Structure 1
């Protein structure tokens, strides 16, 4: 465990330890596996090398060099956040801002680049390992405001991290309040795991009431405040304090939408997702996304193949009411956009995945169906190959030597 935690970030708090983990069931308890590194999350050769260095009392510099060598193979920025999504002014990148989709800007506040506890599967693990070259954040709210003002197509700003709710009200209000004066901005979103990992933030913390007043101010300004709550397992909703936190947030007029990735050994069971969505709906929250584990970090350990992911999603989806069917998935947040697996079917005698773009870097791709060859082992978009004679996917440039004999699956 110590060897893995040398490579991947590890942090846990008293609430998770005391209220969420069933220690009689550990190490198989899902919340335990959610936060505690496991020896088989990384290749055995890497774990053995680092464990041997720890046992030998190797200097910190040598341990860090070994850990960095492993990290370099883990694809820390699957969304290209260090280049593709970063807007520029006078050819200079604006730190801490991503503009991947035309209507949405992501902002990474510098003070929000940690979490109350770390998830072992987190695709943003690179933000937390202490390497300045991998961090992505900004403390310049003026740059964000100026950018959004100058881009009227931007209707939504998403605060993300890390976890923005690690910040106190006095800090987060300095980021949010200036945005309320931008007329074309319709929504402010806050992506957070705080409801699951530290609900005290909204109930008993010293600035809990001030935070809720800030939420009320956002709603009173005419903006939609979307609280994007990350819940990975139904057990995270059991403590009474989290239910009270949900009630208090909803009383401000904010809408709580819930999302999580599908993670092997933690929630890869349709009954778990059905229970989670039913519980969220009962408490007035809106099920929003089931994500596919991204192609980064210990993906080989946590990933669920797309065919299995679809069956898990369908198994839960068919048993909930229409009010819970606001949820979308399984969805891959890949470089070209958010791609949803709609199912497995047969077209012209070929077994295929049917997919579509929920969101796309190129807006013309949104809602556009396409097909990929069925592959029972494929776990990510880039594991797939075009189907039905197509030479490329809709977001790809056609091969220079391609003829015109193939069938364009997007026209079927």
Structure 2
């Protein structure tokens, strides 16, 4: 279906230079706004008019979930770091001083979890390939250079380091030829995931330049696009000037015999209420693409079973496929957003139990950790010991996929590294006992 489209995108972005004025909408005082601006010197801030005007309920700020999803909060960072940065802003410190202090804080926030800068880097010969990751045998991730931003940034984003303007923290490439060469050298790869940032920030001509060459590769079964654009700018697929051209590109991928998987991030049911969003979903599905949905479990935003069940049922009704509930990663303001694994499992179980089998395509809660995607399957008692039951959905070592293992129950644990093995001296993916456990 071809729609009459406007001559321009109509997209208006808001960045940190607009933050103070936007915060005044929430009725925050000068000192509170200063502390939030201090956090924004460390963590990235970007939103847009659609999110601000259509999704946020300003009468419910600061508790509104979409507001918390995109606006920094003063307690996202340690209090002493916030005070130090606020003092620099208050006293008119130079940009260099502020940047240096912000960099120092960032380096304590694990900016690249799961070994992204060293463990996943592919090579052609002896040379590392920039802008790519190859963690699992069958899947390569590619980070298009022009896609290293988003329509709006999520405050929980585990790729926040891509957006803070530090070149050493960025993963990106515009060399599609190098990607093709790498894939030809690795016939075991059957899926390419475009990620970022958000690839859908790119216009159709640029997106086509990356996707079209892949259609000639027989080895590829699927092309995936990881994106939050449906939630944050559904106009991209309805009224933007290149919306129709983008959808034609999607059709070409499907006609070439590839599965086009649109990996859509929805963090809260409100993101799926707008008529424009519903129209965008229909138009994407009409191309033959599959929309799979995923999001992390985020404290204060979606940490209850009813919210997830509502999302999954609504996604199913719209023709989307619930795919993953993730555990908030061990990076950035994790302490602010993290939900204990035990509580996360309860939320997943209760939501899963309240939806039909057609929604139970979803998996989780899953940790995208260094060894792979570790799923919490349950909490039970074995041989008189309370334990977590876990398995690897994906693994660097394919031999470990699907094999159950156990960890001692810990109600405070929020990540894999907080857990200790049960009935063994190490986890299956560990080659030796970790030093911290020798004295346990």
Does residue 191 (structure 1) correspond to residue 226 (structure 2)? The answer is yes
CA separation of 1:59 and 1:155: change in aligned 2, threshold 3 A? same
Name the structure 2 match of 1:393: 427
* DSSP-derived class of the 1:228 partner: strand
Aligned to 1:268: 303
Aligned counterpart, 2:277? 242
User: Aligned match of 1:34 in 65, 69, 73?
Assistant: 69
Q: Alpha-carbon deviation of 1:91?
A: 1.7
SS at match of 1:153: coil
TM-score normalised by length of structure 1: 0.96
CA-to-aligned-CA distance 1:139-171 (integer Å, 9 cap, x gap): 000010111122111010000000000000000
**How far did 1:90 drift?**
2.7
**Which of 124, 128, 131 is 2:163 aligned to?**
128
Q: What residue in structure 2 maps to residue 404 of structure 1?
A: none
- TM-superposed deviation, 1:79: 1.9
CA separation of 1:315 and 1:400: change in aligned 2, threshold 3 A:
closer
Give the distance between the partners of 1:379 and 1:221, measured in 2 at CA: 43
Structure 2 Cα separation of the partners of residues 179 and 192 of structure 1 = 19
The CA distance in 2 between the partners of 1:234 and 1:248, in whole Å, is 20
Cα deviation for residue 308 of structure 1 reads 0.2
1:53 aligned partner: 88
Q: How far off is 1:92 after superposition?
A: 1.5
Deviates more, 1:145-154 or 1:223-232: 145-154
**SS of residue matched to 1:290:** strand
* Distance across 1 between alignment mates of 2:413 and 2:220: 39
SS in 1 for 2:279: helix
Instruction: Give the structure 2 partner of residue 220 of structure 1.
Output: 255
Task: Give, in whole Å, the separation in 2 of the partners of 1:77 and 1:35.
Answer: 20
Q: Measured at CA, do residues 56 and 155 of structure 1 come closer, stay the same or move farther in structure 2, by a change above 3 Å? A: same
Aligned to 1:343: 378
- Asked if structure 1 preserves the Cα contact closer than 8 Å seen for 2:85 and 2:102, the reply is yes
1:180-199 superposed Cα distances (whole Å, 9 cap, x missing partner): 00001100000000000000
Map residues 303-382 of structure 1 onto 2, 5 A cutoff: 303-382=338-417
1:17 aligns with one of 52, 60, 74? 52
Counterpart CA distance in 1 for 2:125 and 2:84 is 46
Out of 145-154 and 114-123, give the one that drifted further.
145-154
Give the secondary-structure state (helix, strand or coil) at the position aligned to 2:206: helix
Q: Give the root-mean-square deviation of aligned CA atoms.
A: 0.9
Say whether the 8 Å CA contact 2:426–2:434 is kept in structure 1.
no
The gaps in structure 2 that reach 5 residues or longer are: 1-35, 436-440
Could you tell me how far 1:398 is from its partner in structure 2? 3.2
1:200 to 235, 258, 272: 235
- Normalised to the residue count of structure 2, the TM-score between the two structures is 0.90
Q: Secondary structure at the match of 2:390?
A: strand
For 2:191 and 2:431, the matched residues in 1 are separated by 30
Shift of 1:280: 0.2
Q: C-alpha distance in 2, partners of 1:278/1:19?
A: 22
Equivalent residue of 1:24, what SS? helix
1:89 shift after superposition = 1.8
Question: Which residue does 2:26 correspond to in 1?
Answer: none
| 1:174 and 2:242 aligned | no
SS at match of 1:7: coil
User: What is the distance in 1 between the residues matched to 2:374 and 2:311?
Assistant: 23
Matched, 1:211 2:246: yes
**Alignment partner, residue 24 of structure 2:** none
**SS at 2:271 equivalent:** helix
Matched with 1:258 is 293
Unaligned runs of at least 5 residues, structure 1: 402-412
1:330 match: secondary structure: strand
Alpha-carbon separation, structure 1, partners of 2:202 and 2:386: 49
Distance 2:192 2:215 in 1: 11
Corresponding residue to 1:89 among 124, 135, 156: 124
1:287 aligned counterpart, secondary structure: strand
